[in-house]
Amino acid sequence: MRTYFKLFFLLIGFVFYSCHQEKQKPDVSHIDLAIKIERFDQDFAQMDTQNIVQHNTQWLKTYGDFYLDYMLHMLQVGSPADTLYMHYMLNNIVQQRDFKALSSAVHDKFPDLTPQEKELSQAFKYMVHYFPSYQVPRFISFFSGFAVQVPVGQGYIGIGLDMFLGADSPFYPSLVQSIPLYISRRFTPEYIVPRVVETVLREDILPDPLSEGNTLQQMIHHGKILYAMDCILDVPDSLKIGYTKEQMEWTEHYQKDIWSWFLQEDLLYSTDYQRIQKYFSEAPFSPELGKQNESAPKLGSFIGWQIIRQYMKRNPELSLQDLFDQNDAQMILENSKYKGKA
């Protein structure tokens, strides 16, 4: 396989923050929104085994669709409508050593979620500003034994706190068969708000209709999501795309080479899913590029992000909704004048 990379790696001595934003963020102080995260994780951890049936009934009433989804799809223990079975299952769960250990770890790491509530409130003010028809749902924290991180259901967004305990959590090394360490390194508190925002954008605002699209179409779709995160979040770029500091530096340094490689390999218009999906999927690195596994993953998403940034810089009159409504990927590329450097 051909490669167009030099044999050295130039380290750039700073972290790339949201430095590519050209527009000043709008004033959203007039939007009345204060997000409160409902602590189902605490309710569940404090379950009284003498009153399990009452807890089950109350949680079904209080948490509604979230509690149904939690029992049926996250814990996968059955319907809470079956009270006798729920009594047996919940009593069994709370007696387990692993449950107690995880419950304690979540409590110790997140005794209070006020910082996250403040960040989410600001982020979702921007979400409402850019997408006025979006209805802000409930936010409910929980733990599920590492089953799911940020589920979105009918009227709620869940925050699986057991999947944000910190990269040094002793739980994650034992999960490497299902959750590789290159993924669990991002299971830190600072990722909560970026992952919530990204999930809402991907599932509620701009679902991906391009399962059979070509590489360029996929680039533009993922680039729109990341650009929207530019507009909504005040966090480092590395937290938006999930790169390490070194991966962020690598992509910035080799951006022109990456773009040239996509062109030289005739990848832009390929619809071969098996060939192109690896440029948008989670991975420790991109195996064709770089030396000694130093390359970054998700290079299709990264390049799409730079194309969208340049397109919006050249078209400052466009709103974020205008961008999302534009589905002509080829037009966006041509109009961006992107040549490998945003």
**Burial per residue of 96-105, b for 16 or more beta-carbon CB atoms within 10 angstroms, e otherwise:** eeebeebbeb
> What's the mean pLDDT in 12-34?
67
- Maximum Cα interatomic distance, the chain, rounded to a whole number of Å: 67
Burial class, 153, CB count within 10 angstroms (exposed 0-12 / middle 13-18 / buried 19+): middle
Using CA atoms in the order 90, 94, 97, 101, what is the torsion angle rounded to 10 degrees?
120
Q: Are residues 181 and 238 in the same domain?
A: no
Do 154 and 283 fall into the same domain?
no
Pair 305, 250 in one domain: yes
Final residue in a domain of this structure, among 205, 232, 259 = 205
248: domain range?
A: 215-336
Residue 312 covered by a domain: yes
**112-170 pLDDT per residue, tens:** 999 999 999 999 999 999 999 999 999 999 999 999 999 999 999 999 999 999 999 99
Model confidence at 10: pLDDT above 70: no
Q: Can you tell me the mean pLDDT for 232-244?
A: 97
Contact by Cβ (8 Å): 235, 248:
no
184 and 243: one domain? Answer: no
- % of residues, the chain, pLDDT over 70: 92
Tokens 């409402």 belong to which residue? 128
**112 shares its domain with 227:** no
Percent of the chain clearing pLDDT 90 (strictly above): 85
Q: Do 264 and 305 share a domain, yes or no? A: yes
Q: What is the pLDDT of residue 321?
A: 96
Q: Does any domain span residue 25?
A: no
Q: Is the pLDDT of residue 23 over 80?
A: no
The pLDDT, as a whole number, for residue 293 is 82
In a domain, 161, yes or no: yes
Q: What is the mean pLDDT of residues 4-17?
A: 32
Distance between CA 162 and CA 142 in Å, rounded? 8
pLDDT digits over 164-210, tens only? 999 999 999 999 999 999 999 999 999 999 999 999 999 999 987 66
Both 179 and 316 in one domain: the answer is no
Residues 6+ apart with CB under 8 A from 170: none
Domain-located, residue 30 = no
DSSP 3-state assignment of 96?
coil
Among 205, 228, 244, residue at a domain's last position: 205
- Per-residue pLDDT band for 14 (boundaries 50, 70, 90) equals very low
CB of 138 within 8 A of CB of 157?
yes
**Does the pLDDT value for residue 314 go beyond 90?**
yes
Q: Is residue 246 part of a domain?
A: yes
Residue-averaged pLDDT of the chain: 91
Are 325 and 247 in a shared domain? yes
In this model, does residue 342 exceed pLDDT 90?
no
CA terminus-to-terminus distance, the chain: 27
Tell me, yes or no, whether 200 and 220 share the same domain: no
- Supply the pTM of this predicted model: 0.91
* CA 185 to the chain's CA centroid: 14
CA distance 44 to 90: 10
> Residue 112: inside a domain, yes or no?
yes
Convert the pLDDT of each residue in 266-283 to its tens digit: 999 999 988 899 999 999
DSSP, collapsed to helix, strand or coil, labels residue 36 as: coil
Q: How many domains, the chain?
A: 2
Region 26-48 average pLDDT: 96
Give the integer Cα–Cα distance in Å for 65 and 291: 48
In which band, very low, low, confident or very high, does the pLDDT at 288 lie, cut at 50, 70 and 90?
A: confident
Same domain for 164 and 288, yes or no, is no
Residues 185, 225 within the same domain: no
- Residue 164 belongs to a domain: yes
164 phi/psi in degrees, rounded to 5: -140, 30
CA atoms within 13 A on the CB side of 234: 13
Domain shared by 243 and 196, yes or no: no
Check if the beta carbon of residue 176 is closer than 8 Å to that of residue 119: no
Say if residue 220's pLDDT is above 60. Answer: yes
Distance (Å) of CA 331 to CA 213, 216, 225, 303, 342: 15, 11, 18, 16, 17
Looking at per-residue confidence, does 289 or 125 come out higher? Answer: 125
Q: Which domain-ending residue is among 176, 205, 234?
A: 205
Mean pLDDT of 276-291: 89
Pairing of strands 37-39, 138-142: parallel
Evaluate whether residue 20 is within a structural domain. no
Confidence of residue 4 (pLDDT cuts 50, 70, 90): very low
pLDDT of residue 114: 98
Q: pLDDT category, 92, cuts 50, 70, 90?
A: very high
